[in-house]
Structure 1
Amino acid sequence: MSFFTEELKKCTEDFEGRKCIGNAMYIPLGGNNRLKIFFTTLGYADHYEALSISAVDKNNGVIDKTTIKFADIWGKRQVSNPNFKDGITPYVWKYGNDVNWYVYTPTLCDMELLAEQISDYAELFMEQSMELQEFPAMTMSM
């Protein structure tokens, strides 16, 4: 497992059937829908500041995609490093073969916040058959 997939596992523990291929994770959502999640850069090489998340229909391709920026979820975090007196927005830094969080490592609570965002996005594309069974269409009687 790569660093990237190990970190993705931390924020997708509640999903069943997760599969890692390369540095991406795929999660079945029911029917033909899947999520594809991977770390992405936002303009700086080897500076991974966000997750790219896509809803994919296995027959028709990408339905929707979005970027979950760590700055939007976590904001700046205070660290004891004197070079970052105002704090730092977390990101993963790749330097040669080394990959790790730069200066600040997200806590369990941070990963739970990220997991909530992933879950909220996934709910938009989950199979709705159970919901439809619970609330059948009402018929009008005359």
Structure 2
Amino acid sequence: MKTLFEQELRDLFGDGTIVHKPIFIGRTCFGTLGGDLRVRIEFDDPAVLRNYDSLSVKVINRLSGLVDHIDLPIVDLIGRKMIPDNPNFPDGVAPHIWIYNGTVEWYGYKPNAADRAAIRSTVAQYLNMFREPFLEPVKIHPSSPKRKQRDSISR
């Protein structure tokens, strides 16, 4: 049986484009970045016990250990969310998963497709810092002004 944590991580990273070869266990997603680099992404509750309000993203070298780590508060990624027809949250709610009376669920607001895209984008930007770069040579066409300027200078 999949937990809500696992389902959310599958929705975010299950296609393998951001985290290659993803594996999901509980509230954690494991995968590869290339070479000896691995990634571990999990819902974390750094401030309030059983209120999972951030994603912890770790880049790990499988031979030498932790390379880098970042905590991404969900509210920083998608903002506070208004809950229509609910006077208890006049300023909106900071999205998070909580465990209450043995039930795991989103508290007040469940992220939509646009929210998930924002989360994916931020995690991808972070992880791209650790991927092997694929450099392509800069091509300068003979008609390029920079090329003409170099030719005139070298004469």
- The structure having more radius of gyration, on CA atoms, is 2
What residue in structure 1 maps to residue 81 of structure 2?
Answer: 77
Moved over 4 A (4+): none
> How far has the Cα of 1:23 moved from its partner?
2.2
1:116 aligns with 2:121: yes
Alignment partners' CA distance in 1, 2:25 and 2:105: 19
Q: Which of residues 45, 60, 63 in structure 2 aligns to 1:59?
A: 63
For this pair of structures, how many residues does the alignment match?
Answer: 133
Q: Which of residues 21, 24, 29 in structure 1 aligns to 2:28?
A: 24
SS at match of 1:9: helix
SS at match of 2:53: strand
> How far has the Cα of 1:31 moved from its partner?
0.2
TM-score normalised to structure 1 length: 0.86
What residue in structure 2 maps to residue 34 of structure 1?
Answer: 38
SS at match of 1:86: coil
Letter aligned with residue 130 of structure 2: F
Alignment partners' CA distance in 2, 1:121 and 1:34: 13
What residue in structure 1 maps to residue 7 of structure 2?
Answer: 6
Alignment partners' CA distance in 1, 2:79 and 2:69: 22
Residue by residue over 1:102-135, the C-alpha shift from the partner in whole angstroms, topping out at 9 and shown as x without a partner, is 010011100000000110111111133xx15x44
Residue by residue over 1:72-125, the C-alpha shift from the partner in whole angstroms, topping out at 9 and shown as x without a partner, is 111211102221121111011112421110010011100000000110111111
Ranges in structure 1 where 5+ consecutive residues have no aligned partner: 136-142
TM-score normalised to structure 2 length: 0.80
Q: Which of residues 98, 106, 109 in structure 2 aligns to 1:93?
A: 98
**Larger RCO (CA within 8 A; separation ≥ 6):** 1
Alignment partners' CA distance in 2, 1:46 and 1:22: 14
